[in-house]
């Protein structure tokens, strides 16, 4: 792309390009050249908007974390198993699985994110917090057992969800597979146990 050509919302264009590379080829293929090539822009565009590539990746992860609250289920509406199945599918069929792998893959990115967000695995931690709040609300509404161990159930759902979605080779699991996993994890927390 010629220099001097104005690009509308370069950050979003670069983030979307990085997401496509991540989903298609995985974290090992994510380089500044791959991102700018995918976005159809000169390499200098990335460095004009970000201090370095790990700075770009940090902002990408923070941007994707900011999108999570819109995925959270609404307490008291629908079936809990269906709500959780839909939530986990939305979280993990997005770029989240690839981002968790990317964070694991890049030490400097992990350090930068911990400096900004604190301990834990970004995206997975935030998704877990949304689930904890949803499950607490459902417990308060009487739709989960009063003694349901929310602080164990929520991260178990996130961990199990991540595992069944993480296999990039065979594609995402079926909705039935996700639903079975959710039912199994919730078995001790429902009011009809």
What is residue 168's predicted lDDT score, i.e. its pLDDT? Answer: 61
Place 66 in a pLDDT band, splitting at 50, 70 and 90.
confident
Name the most confidently modeled range: 77-81, 86-90, 102-106, 119-123.
77-81
pLDDT over threshold 90, residue 145 = yes
For residue range 86-112, list pLDDT tens digits in order: 999 988 876 777 887 888 888 888 889
**How many Cα atoms sit within 13 Å of 52 on the Cβ side?**
4
Question: Poorest-confidence range of 2-11, 18-27, 83-92, 106-115?
Answer: 2-11
**Mean pLDDT for all residues in the chain:** 86
CA distance 28 to 67: 24
pLDDT over threshold 90, residue 180 = yes
Tell me which of 20 and 66 has the higher pLDDT: 20
Decide: 36 and 91 in contact? Cβ < 8 Å. Answer: no
Decide: 160 and 185 in contact? Cβ < 8 Å. Answer: yes
CA distance 119 to 130: 17
Decide: 125 and 114 in contact? Cβ < 8 Å. Answer: no
pLDDT over threshold 90, residue 185 = yes
SS (H, E, C) the chain: CCCCCCCCCHHHHHHHHHHHHHHHHCHHHCCHHHHHHHHCCCHHHHHHHCCCHHHHHHHHHHHHHHCHHHHCCCCCCCCHHHHHHHHHHHHHCCCHHHHHHHHHHCHHHHHHHHHHHCCCCCCHHHHHHHHHHHHHHHHHCCCECCCCCHHHHHHHHHHHHHHHHCCCCCCCCCHHHHHHHHHHHHCCCECCC
Decide: 2 and 13 in contact? Cβ < 8 Å. Answer: no
pLDDT over threshold 50, residue 33 = yes
Name the most confidently modeled range: 34-48, 57-71, 96-110.
34-48
What is residue 134's predicted lDDT score, i.e. its pLDDT? Answer: 95
* Ordered domains of the chain (ranges, CATH): 10-49 (1.10.10.60), 71-186 (1.10.357.10)
What is residue 69's predicted lDDT score, i.e. its pLDDT? Answer: 65
Decide: 48 and 1 in contact? Cβ < 8 Å. Answer: no
């Amino acid at each position: 792309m010629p220099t001097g050509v104005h690009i509308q919302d370069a950050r979003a264009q670069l983030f979307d390009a990085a997401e496509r590379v991540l989903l298609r080829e995985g974290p090992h293929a994510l380089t500044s050249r791959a991102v700018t090539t995918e976005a159809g822009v000169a390499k200098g565009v990335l460095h004009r908007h970000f201090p370095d590539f790990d700075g770009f990746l940090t902002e990408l992860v923070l941007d994707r974390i900011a999108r999570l609250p819109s995925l959270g289920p609404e307490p008291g509406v629908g079936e809990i198993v269906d709500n959780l199945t839909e939530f986990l599918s939305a979280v993990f069929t997005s770029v989240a699985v690839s981002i968790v792998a990317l964070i694991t893959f890049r030490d400097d990115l992990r350090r930068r994110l911990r400096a900004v967000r604190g301990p834990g695995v970004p995206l997975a931690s935030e998704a877990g917090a949304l689930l904890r709040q949803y499950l607490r609300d459902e417990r308060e509404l009487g739709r989960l057992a009063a003694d349901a161990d929310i602080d164990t159930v929520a991260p178990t759902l996130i961990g199990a969800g991540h595992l069944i979605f993480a296999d990039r080779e065979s594609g995402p699991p079926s909705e039935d597979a996700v639903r079975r996993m959710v039912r199994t994890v919730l078995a001790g927390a429902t009011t009809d146990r």
